[in-house]
Each structure stands twice: as C-alpha cells, then as structure tokens.
C-alpha cells in the first residue's frame, strides 16, 4: 500500500496516508485528516453562515487533524480550540484507481456535546470499526456555544453551527466520490446534540438531497434542551457581562462581541444562564433557534437562507419534514445518569429539587391552573413516598431520562412512522459493559447505561487501552452494533433478510405506522438482541395520559 496517497477535491489536491487498523482487524485504511471544508468564520463572518474554502495550488497535507472549534473541555473545564476550525476527516478502505471507483456507502458523523463542546476528532471517534465494514466515514467540526448559536438580529441570525454541518454535507456531495464514496448513498448520524442536529436537518428544506438515511442516538429535536427561545436577550446579557456599556443598537453590540477573543465568549457563555434555565434543567446557554426577526412593518426578515423557520413540533404537525428518509433512532436505559455529574458540582441539588419539585413539570404541558396537583402526580408516580434524596437517585434518573430524552425520541418516532414514507426503526441500548464511554470518563460506578455509553461500541477510542477477550460479550455487542449501523447505511435496513449473517440472529422490524400510539416495536440491544414492544411502558403510559389529559394530544 502507498504510505501516502493523493486525492483531488474540487478545491485542490490533498495528501493522506495509509494506516493499519488499531482494533485487531487485518489490513488498514486511508486516512485524510484536517480537510478544510469552510473558510475560517472570523472577523465579519463571526456569527454568520460559513462560506466554502477557496481553491488552492499545490498539494495540501491531510495527515493531521485541524483545530477543534473553541469550547471548554467537558472533564477538565479548560479552554480549547481556534475559530479557524471548519475541518473534516475522511476515512476509507479503498480509493479510486484508474477507472475503478468503489462507490461505498458514506456515513457522516455529527458529534454531541450539548452544542457547546467536543469535536469530530479521532481521540473519541476512531474510525476503525466502521471503516472495516466497507463504508466511508466522515467526521467533522462545527461551531459551538455562542460562536455557533448566538442570535441577535439580521447580522447574527442564528444556527451557524447547523449551517456548518450543511456546508460539510455539500462538501461530501461534491467530493466524496474521490475517496471511494457514493454521494447518492449518504447516511448522516449523530449522538445527543448531534442526534438532534440530524433531526433538525431532516426538518430543513436546505438539506434536501444531501443525505439519504439518518440515525439519531440519544437526541431529538423535540427534547426540551434541543431548541432555545430567541436568544437575542441572551446575546445582550453576554455582551453586558463581558463589559459592553454602549448603545441599545444590536449592530453596536455585535461589533463589540466580534472584537472579543473567542475564549472570552466561550468563558462568558455560562454567565448568561438564568435561574429559570436551571429550574428547567437546561444548562445549555446557546442552542439552535427558530430563525427570523421582525422589522418595523411587522414582517419576518431573513438575511441568509434560514435553516428552520418554525418549531419542530409545528413542522411535524404540518407534516413538513423529509418523509422519504429511512430513520433509525433510540436511547440508552439510564441516559440521565449524567445527573450525577451535576450532583457532584452542586451537592445541594437534591435538596433544591425536593423543595421545588414543580420544576419537574415539562414546559409544554398546559397545566397553568393545576400545577400543584400535577407536581403531586409526578412525585407520586416516580418517587412514591420517598423524598428527593440520596436514596432516590435512581428514581430521579428515570424521571430525567424520560423528560430530557425518551419522551421527545418517542414522539419523533411516532411522527416519522405515521406521516413518513420510509421505514422507522427504534432501539433501546441496554448493555452495561466495559466499552461504555461516558461512565468511564465520568468515573461513575453505579449500574446502568449512561448517556453516550453506546458510542464505545461504534468507535475506537484513544481513551481506552482495553485488551478484551475476542470472545467477550463486549466484542459481540460491538460487532453487532457496527454491523447493524453499517447495514442501515448500506440498505436502509439494520437487519436485511437477504444477508446471511451469523452475527445477527434477530430481525429488527420497523415501526408499524398504524399502531404508533399503542404498539411501538423496538430492538432491545443487550447481551442478546430482542424485539420488544413499548419501551419503559408504564412510565411512557403515564406521560401519554398526562399529555392527553392536559394538552388533548399524546402525540
């Protein structure tokens, strides 16, 4: 194999390299890291949609990853990154030679991190497992925090980070054939904020034709943290907290914010959180928003093509989403184990919730006149006679898993299955093993499958130096996860009947569109693969009843 390989993109030539698998498979793959898909969004382009990278002469090196976008490290809480960060990485087992082009399915990964931290780099998202199944993997960076999601009038319309993802998908459409990929067979997939990004892209007309299948892991555009109210007020709060004492002019305020170092903006973002944000369990200051602002004539104005112009729930109810895209989505059994991290930071949190349990009422539940009664009903259902204390942390994890993740994911499944024209698959990841990523990173000892844990079964992590027995359950679950996810990318079906496969012994059935309210089938992924009905049945039945009773519609 060539140690170096040169590929021609639409903007110029790049040099990647061949490397051996680190995961035990024989052979290796071609790696192209740090490919610039967008010009640096700096100066006047800060807070605006990015533009494609300009063409270049000569050969650019693609052997090292580019800068991550500015953010604070989740574990160490230290600043990292550079605004010149619109880079992607491509990994492929075959590159075209002569007249031969492999035309493999393409998987484009959108990383999670609450829209405020992370990157697509191989330290967390090593390509070895997926690429070995003959797909081309693309990972990417997109702008985060206020740099990616600040909204303030026409010069900062919002959703810059999502528009970065769109720009990267356009790059994939125009260039991926040069890496052995098929631009007509692109699966976009992501986890947490990346999973809800996938769904927002499916709700946007701007992404039409850019991908053909979609996977959302542990994230939905209908989760309460996935979309903010207009953050113009938050932008002015950020400016004031960073020393702005100028006029009320939005343009003056933005000029001030554009002059500040990126590090100041990132470090100032948490100071914009209000008591209400904390009460609603939302610790994410800058997230996607519905775009558009009102001018003096009371008309909505857009200064650049808006990604989303109505709330996701309204778009679903009007059936305005891409209906012909097969969709796979699901959750982990103990998503809200992340709650333990908040407890460590604030040991009084349990006491605060106990004295203000009303904060557990979802914002979209219409209970204005019945708040105390609904509070009692939720407390009784999840806690029984217990108080919120160290003895009821498991019950609180169940409640927050439902509120922050499962309820929105289930609603998404129902809308896609009932009103779409393509199969919808749902899963529950329930395997608590040694490759569970977030539990290891956060040092959590309790049983259960935390938010983010499934990623250790899809990606090779630099973080882990585990020598697992090839016959271990972890390896079996990892092999099955990788096979099902890449099957979906290849065939639009995670367990295609035409594939004789010793790994997969269960057929994963799509949701029946006629029974989405009372008979949701899902694949339970644990030491075995089992098709079951109605995930967390009693808990979800409770919320269906509450929404039916108070909102008149469980959907």
- Catalytic pick from 220, 451, 454, 536? 451
In whole angstroms, give the CA distance from residue 432 to residue 136. Answer: 29
Q: Is 31 a catalytic residue?
A: no
Three-class SS of residue 171? helix
Looking up tokens 């900062």, which residue turns up? 156
Q: Is 304 a catalytic residue?
A: no
- Catalytic pick from 191, 335, 454, 536? 335
**What's the longest Cα–Cα distance across the chain?**
72
In whole angstroms, give the CA distance from residue 144 to residue 152. Answer: 16
SS3 content of the chain, % helix, strand, coil (to 5): 35, 20, 45
In whole angstroms, give the CA distance from residue 400 to residue 331. Answer: 13
> Do 539 and 401 contact (CB within 8 A), yes or no?
no
- List C-alpha distances in Å: 57 to 4, 14, 305: 19, 10, 31
> Do 25 and 128 contact (CB within 8 A), yes or no?
yes
User: What is the number of helices (H) and of strands (E) in the chain?
Assistant: 17, 17
In whole angstroms, give the CA distance from residue 323 to residue 336. Answer: 30
Q: Is 335 a catalytic residue?
A: yes
Neighbours of 192 (CB within 10 A): 28
- Catalytic pick from 31, 192, 197, 216? 192
Identify which of 138, 32, 156, 146 has the alpha carbon closest to the alpha carbon of residue 81. Answer: 146
Please name the residues in contact with 390: beta carbons below 8 A apart, sequence gap of 6 or more: 350
H-assigned helices in 151-228: 160-175, 193-202
- Catalytic positions, please? 192, 335, 451
């Amino acid at each position: 194999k060539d140690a170096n390989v040169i590929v021609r993109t639409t903007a110029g030539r790049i040099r990647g390299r061949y490397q051996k698998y680190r995961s035990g498979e024989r052979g290796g793959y071609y790696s192209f890291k740090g490919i610039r898909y967008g010009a640096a969004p700096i100066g006047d382009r800060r807070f605006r949609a990015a533009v494609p990278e300009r063409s270049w002469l000569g050969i650019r090196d693609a052997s090292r990853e580019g800068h991550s976008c500015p953010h604070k490290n989740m574990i160490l809480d230290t600043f990292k990154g550079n605004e010149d960060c619109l880079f992607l990485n491509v990994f492929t087992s075959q590159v075209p030679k002569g007249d031969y082009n492999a035309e493999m399915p393409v998987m484009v990964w959108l990383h999670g991190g609450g829209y405020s931290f992370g990157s697509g780099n191989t330290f967390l998202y090593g390509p070895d497992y997926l690429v070995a199944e003959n797909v081309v993997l693309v990972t990417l960076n997109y702008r985060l925090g206020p740099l990616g999601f600040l909204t303030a009038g026409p010069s900062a319309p919002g959703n810059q980070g999502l528009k970065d993802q769109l720009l990267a998908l356009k790059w994939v459409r125009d260039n991926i054939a040069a890496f052995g990929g098929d631009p007509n067979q692109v699966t976009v997939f992501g986890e947490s904020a990346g999973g809800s990004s996938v769904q927002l892209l499916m709700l946007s007309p701007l992404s039409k034709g850019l991908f053909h299948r979609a996977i959302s892991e542990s994230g939905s555009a209908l989760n309460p943290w996935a979309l903010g109210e207009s953050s113009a007020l938050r932008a002015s709060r950020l400016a004031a907290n960073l020393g702005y004492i100028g006029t009320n002019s939005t343009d003056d305020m933005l000029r001030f914010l554009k002059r500040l170092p990126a590090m100041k903006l990132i470090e100032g973002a948490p100071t914009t959180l209000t008591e209400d944000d904390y009460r609603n369990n939302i610790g994410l200051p800058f997230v996607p928003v519905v775009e558009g602002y009102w001018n003096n004539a009371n008309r909505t104005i857009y200064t650049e093509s808006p990604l989303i112009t109505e709330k996701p729930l309204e778009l679903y109810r009007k059936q305005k989403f891409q209906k012909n895209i097969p969709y796979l989505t699901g959750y982990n059994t103990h998503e809200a184990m992340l709650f333990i991290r908040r407890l460590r930071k604030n040991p009084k949190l349990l006491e605060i919730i106990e004295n203000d349990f009303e904060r557990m009422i979802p914002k979209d539940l219409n209970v204005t006149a019945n708040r105390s009664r609904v509070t009692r009903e939720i407390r009784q259902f999840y806690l029984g006679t217990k108080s919120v204390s160290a003895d009821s942390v498991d019950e609180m994890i169940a409640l927050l898993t439902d509120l922050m993740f499962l309820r929105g994911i289930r609603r998404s499944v129902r809308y896609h299955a009932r009103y779409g024209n393509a199969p919808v698959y749902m899963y529950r990841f329930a395997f608590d093993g040694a490759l569970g990523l977030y539990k290891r990173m956060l040092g959590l000892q309790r049983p259960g499958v935390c938010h983010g844990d499934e990623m250790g079964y899809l990606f090779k992590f630099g973080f882990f130096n585990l020598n697992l027995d090839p016959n271990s359950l972890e390896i079996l679950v990892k092999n099955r996860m990788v096979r099902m996810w890449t099957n979906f990318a290849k065939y639009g079906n995670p367990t295609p009947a035409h594939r004789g496969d010793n790994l997969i012994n269960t057929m994963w059935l799509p949701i029946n569109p006629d029974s989405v309210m009372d008979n949701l089938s899902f694949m339970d992924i644990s030491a075995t693969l089992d098709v079951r009905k109605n995930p967390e049945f009693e808990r979800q039945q409770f919320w269906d009843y509450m929404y039916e009773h108070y909102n008149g519609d469980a959907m």
